[in-house]
């Protein structure tokens, strides 16, 4: 390479200088020699660029001449191809950092690369840290006092990964020769080296602190004097790979004492992890000021301890969050209105609308009690969800139907509603003797409880606009999250509330009569269908044993109701039958406590029966037996995704048995021969993530994409998102 020619050239130059110094200084020849020397030395201290393929690299020294016992700076320059990038010391979710492997004379040492402030480089669901354009990495070269030579020859092999849509590992052999004299001599123009040094973050003198609770880290860095009005962004780049979940948004808050930054820990987080790293602060000063500094962070507190957070200036979070909050509230409101059309909600709402025909007074009050039931239920479900997630549960929206106990009770409830609509028994008639006031109170309670029931059955549904709103809500503080869920409930209650305020729409229905009895009986069948659907969900969660339990409980309930309808007239016989009915109801309430045991038994049976068989083989056999014509699904896992992605595109379907929207989409679009032919033609692998039962891995994947419920569909391509 360049080492030998430059070494020979420098020896010739030094002989010329030595010869020139013996001549009179006024000599034109001496001046010409010094001019030639200056040109040659300048050329040798900035070696020519080496093109490695997708970037050009070179070594540039800050000195015209170096001396023994002194240090000087060499810059590794990377001129990266447009739209390509290299990586920081922690590359993020993928990539590899730049390296320099030196070959130096004895007595000469080189420091590690000094890393300039990186930028965040999003790539699909990943977030990487690196550089675009021209990058300069300073290196300090130190020469021992005993080093003796005419010149200093530096050689290094540069290795880097340069990426765009694809990644290419490259390397280049770099070299540089600098004259060695008695005194060091800097280049006259040091602007490039000052600019490169300014891009290297300084060390912050104060130590930061961090606490971790339920996979959420809270980093506090003491920087008094930060001006809230000027700070537009704060970013944290940890030195350790995998320490944080890099794509997750970092929420920051400036206080009088410094700032807090909060986000999610990553796959490599462990107790007492080192959170030292780089802090980058952007301020609205001039064209924008970007400052970086390295901070040492005290050992992390034990998981589960309460974070010590400075809660001053709660409103200092960036404006983007405020805008997103209002957008999420609007989306939740729209999604709530659309929920009324979902098949899990419409039957319940239809029954309530039908009851308006019989109401002549206080219709608006009924509407508000229904709305109160809906909104309070949404807020309570959301509050429970937040509490459970804070406690470490990996769950999302619709989590209540991941519980076999809840599914069992809801199946019975829908059965009872259906029997009531069919006329098997009547509820509330015994209360009529308490007078008009009690009747109105009973009616309001009915409106409120209808709102509660509508919310319970609506929760598993994810209507358009809802997914992004709920996903955003679960990343915010509790007050903001509850506000979004309240907006969702208000949107769902609004159509019924509007009917109560504009009874002219109700007046268009036929007058009360025999048709209402027929309509009520017809509406029983969607309730029976909902009960059957829930039993099917339970069969997936708890197997055939779960179906047996819900069946036995249903028989006990129906028998108890039949006994209460046929009580004997004698007081002793009447009392004994009432006690028997009560015992049957108590027995029914006791049965669901065993559904979790049945579920575990069912899972064990499935695992033992499939030992030695791949999941795809089991799925394929069951699918073929059912004459299924759609694409064959393999069970989703991160390992399966990577394995299939190496072979070609992968389509991932996150679904659940209790998700009506998921099932409709599968019947209409996914589980068809046409889709199978398309997948086969394009070589697409099909993975299915079943969230019917709680699955933390799927919960994390949903959160990664800003979702808290299903359905979610992801298409991966090799080398792309």
Q: b/e per residue, 512-542, with b = 16+ CB within 10 A? A: eeeebeebbeebbebbbebbebbbbbbbbbb
pTM for the model stands at 0.42
**Cross-sheet strand order for the sheet of 259-264:** 209-213, 216-221, 259-264, 251-254
- Within-domain flag for 280: yes
| Nearest residue to 402 (alpha-carbon basis) of 653, 654, 703, 694 | 694
Domain boundary among 301, 317, 333: 317
Instruction: Produce one character per residue of 157-187: b if its CB has 16 or more CB atoms within 10 Å, e if not.
Output: ebbbbbbeeebeebebebbbbbbbbeebeeb
**pLDDT band, residue 489 (cuts 50/70/90):** confident
Residue 721 located in a structural domain: no
Q: Which residue has the tokens 């659940």?
A: 656
For 558-615, write each residue's pLDDT tens digit: 888 888 887 887 888 888 888 887 887 777 666 655 544 444 444 443 333 333 444 4
CATH code for the domain of 280 = 2.60.40
Same domain, 24 and 61: yes
Structural domain includes residue 393: yes
As beta bridge partners, residue 178 has 152
Strand order of the sheet with strand 634-635? 634-635, 685-690, 650-655, 712-716
Same domain assignment for residues 213 and 349: no
Q: What is the mean pLDDT of residues 441-455?
A: 70
79 lies in some domain: yes
Whether residue 136 is contained in a domain is answered as yes
Same domain, 277 and 165: no
Q: What local confidence, expressed as pLDDT, does residue 323 receive? A: 42
Same domain for 392 and 276, yes or no, is: no
Residue 603 lies in a domain: no
Picking from 572, 597, 622, the residue at the C-terminal end of a domain is 597
Confidence of residue 391 (pLDDT cuts 50, 70, 90): low
Q: Which DSSP category does 670 fall into?
A: I
The predicted structure's pLDDT at residue 160? 92
Summarised one tens digit per residue, pLDDT across range 396-433 is 555 555 667 777 777 777 787 778 777 777 653 333 23
> Are residues 137 and 211 both part of a single domain?
no
- Please state, in angstroms and rounded to a whole number, the distance separating the CA atoms of residues 8 and 11: 5
The CATH number of the domain holding residue 42 is 2.60.40.680
pLDDT at 565: 81
Tokens for 682, please give them.
């394009």
Q: Kindly report the backbone phi and psi dihedral angles of residue 276, in degrees, each rounded to the nearest multiple of 5, phi listed first.
A: -60, 145
pLDDT band at 477 (very low <50, low <70, confident <90, very high): low
Confidence grade of residue 204 (pLDDT, cut at 50, 70, 90): confident
Q: What is the pLDDT of residues 226-276, one digit of tens each?
A: 888 889 999 999 999 989 999 999 999 988 888 999 999 998 888 888 999
Give the pLDDT confidence score for residue 508 in this predicted structure.
62
Same domain flag for 645 and 707: yes
Q: Which residues pair with 336 in a beta bridge?
A: none
Residue at 273 is within a domain:
yes
Interatomic CA distance for residues 359 and 552, integer angstroms: 38
What confidence tier does 30 reach under pLDDT thresholds 50, 70, 90?
very low
- Which tokens sit at 452? 């509660």
Q: Which of 160, 179, 200 is the last residue of a domain?
A: 200
- Residue 128 within a domain: yes
- Residue burial 485-503, b: 16+ Cβ < 10 Å; e: rest: bbbbbbbbbbebbebbeee
Range 653-670 average pLDDT: 80
Instruction: Go through 324-349 and write b for each residue having 16 or more CB atoms within 10 A of its CB, e for each that does not.
Output: bbeebbebbbbbbbbbbebbbbebbb
Q: What is the predicted pLDDT for the residue at 665?
A: 83
Neighbours of 249 (CB within 10 A): 15
* Burial of 564: CB neighbours in 10 Å, binned 0-12, 13-18, 19+: middle
On the question of pLDDT at 538 being above 90, the answer is no
Provide, rounded to the nearest whole percent, the portion of the chain with pLDDT above 70: 68
Tell whether 337 and 484 lie within a shared domain.
yes
Q: Which two three-digit tokens encode residue 152?
A: 């200093």
pLDDT of residue 517: 67
Give the DSSP letter string of 393-407.
Answer: ----TTGGGGSHHHH
Helix (H) or strand (E) holding 23: none
Highest mean pLDDT among 38-47, 129-138, 162-171, 416-425: 129-138
Is it the case that residue 115 has pLDDT exceeding 90? yes
Residue 348: per-residue pLDDT: 61
113 and 213 co-located in one domain: no
Q: Are residues 24 and 165 in the same domain?
A: yes
Range 34-52 average pLDDT: 54
How far apart CA 257 and CA 622 sit, in angstroms, is: 62
Q: Determine the structural domain holding residue 645 and report its residue range.
A: 614-716
Same domain assignment for residues 233 and 255:
yes
- The answer, yes or no, to whether residue 314 has pLDDT greater than 50, is no
Task: Report the pLDDT averaged over residues 619-624.
Answer: 43
Q: How confident is the model at residue 686 (pLDDT cuts 50, 70, 90)?
A: very high
What average pLDDT does this structure show over 104-126?
92
Do 30 and 150 have their domain in common? yes
Count: domains in the chain = 4
Is there a single domain that holds both residue 381 and residue 435? yes
Residue 9 pLDDT greater than 80, yes or no = no
HSE (CB half, 13 Å, CA atoms) of 377? 23
């Amino acid at each position: 390479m360049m080492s030998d020619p430059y070494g020979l050239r420098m020896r010739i130059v030094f002989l010329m200088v030595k010869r020139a110094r013996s001549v009179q200084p006024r000599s034109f020849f001496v001046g010409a020699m010094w001019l030639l020397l200056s040109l040659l030395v300048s050329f040798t201290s900035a070696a020519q660029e080496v093109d490695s393929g997708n970037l050009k690299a070179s070594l540039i020294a800050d000195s015209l001449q170096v001396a023994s016992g002194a240090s000087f700076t060499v810059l590794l320059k990377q001129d990266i191809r447009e739209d390509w990038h290299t990586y920081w010391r922690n590359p993020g979710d993928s990539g590899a950092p730049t390296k320099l492997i030196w070959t130096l004379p004895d007595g000469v040492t080189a420091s590690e690369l000094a890393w300039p402030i990186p930028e965040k480089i999003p790539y699909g669901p990943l977030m990487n840290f690196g550089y675009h354009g021209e990058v300069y990495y300073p290196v300090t070269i130190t020469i021992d006092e005993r080093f003796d030579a005419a010149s200093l020859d530096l050689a290094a092999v540069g290795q880097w990964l340069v990426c765009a849509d694809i990644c290419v590992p490259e390397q280049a052999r770099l070299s540089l020769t600098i004259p060695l004299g008695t005194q060091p001599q800097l280049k006259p123009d040091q602007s490039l080296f000052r600019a490169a040094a300014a891009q290297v973050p300084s060390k912050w003198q104060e130590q930061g602190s961090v606490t971790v609770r339920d996979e959420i880290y809270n980093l506090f860095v003491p920087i008094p004097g930060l001006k809230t009005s000027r700070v537009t962004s704060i970013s944290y780049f940890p030195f350790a790979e995998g320490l944080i979940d890099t794509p997750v948004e970092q929420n920051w808050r400036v206080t009088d004492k410094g700032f807090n930054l909060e986000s999610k820990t990553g796959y490599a987080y462990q107790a007492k992890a080192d959170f030292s790293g780089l802090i980058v602060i952007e301020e609205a000063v001039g064209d924008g000021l970007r400052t970086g500094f390295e901070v040492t962070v005290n050992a992390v507190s034990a998981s589960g301890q309460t974070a010590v957070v400075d809660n001053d200036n709660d409103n200092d979070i960036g404006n983007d969050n405020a805008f997103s909050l209002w957008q999420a509230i609007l989306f939740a409101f729209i999604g709530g209105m659309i929920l009324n059309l979902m098949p899990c909600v419409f039957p319940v709402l239809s029954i309530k609308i039908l009851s308006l025909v019989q109401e002549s007074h206080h219709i608006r009050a009924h509407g508000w009690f229904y709305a109160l039931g809906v909104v309070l239920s949404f807020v309570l479900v959301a509050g429970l969800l937040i509490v459970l997630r804070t406690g470490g549960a990996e769950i999302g929206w619709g989590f209540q139907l991941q519980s076999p106990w809840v599914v069992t009770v809801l199946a019975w409830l829908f059965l009872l509603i259906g029997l009531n609509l069919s006329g098997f028994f009547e509820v509330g008639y015994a209360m009529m003797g308490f007078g008009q006031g009690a009747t109105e109170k009973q009616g309001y309670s009915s409106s409120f409880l209808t709102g509660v029931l509508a919310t319970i059955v609506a929760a598993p549904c994810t209507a358009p606009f809802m997914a992004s709103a709920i996903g955003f809500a679960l990343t915010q503080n509790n007050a903001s999250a509850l506000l979004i869920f309240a907006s969702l409930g208000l949107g769902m209650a609004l159509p019924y509330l509007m009917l109560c305020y504009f009874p002219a729409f109700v007046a268009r229905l036929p007058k009360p009569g025999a048709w209402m009895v027929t309509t009520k009986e017809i509406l029983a069948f969607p309730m029976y269908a909902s009960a059957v659907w829930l039993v099917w969900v339970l069969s997936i969660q708890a197997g055939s044993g779960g179906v047996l339990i819900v069946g036995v409980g249903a028989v006990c309930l129906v028998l108890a109701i039949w006994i209460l309808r046929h009580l004997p007239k004698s007081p002793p016989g009447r009392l004994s039958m009432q006690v028997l009915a009560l015992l049957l109801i108590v027995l029914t309430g006791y049965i669901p406590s065993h559904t979790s045991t049945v579920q575990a038994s069912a899972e064990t049976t499935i695992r033992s029966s499939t030992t030695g068989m791949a999941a795809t083989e089991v799925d394929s056999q069951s699918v073929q037996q059912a004459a299924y014509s759609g694409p064959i699904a393999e069970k989703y896992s991160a390992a399966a995704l990577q394995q299939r992605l190496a072979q070609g595109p992968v389509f991932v379907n996150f679904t659940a048995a209790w998700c009506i929207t998921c099932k409709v989409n599968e019947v209409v679009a996914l589980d068809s021969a046409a889709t199978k032919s398309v997948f086969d033609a394009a070589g697409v692998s099909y993975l299915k993530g079943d969230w019917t039962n709680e699955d933390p891995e799927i919960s994390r994947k949903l959160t990664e994409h800003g979702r808290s419920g299903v359905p979610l569909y992801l298409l991966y391509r090799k080398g792309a998102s």
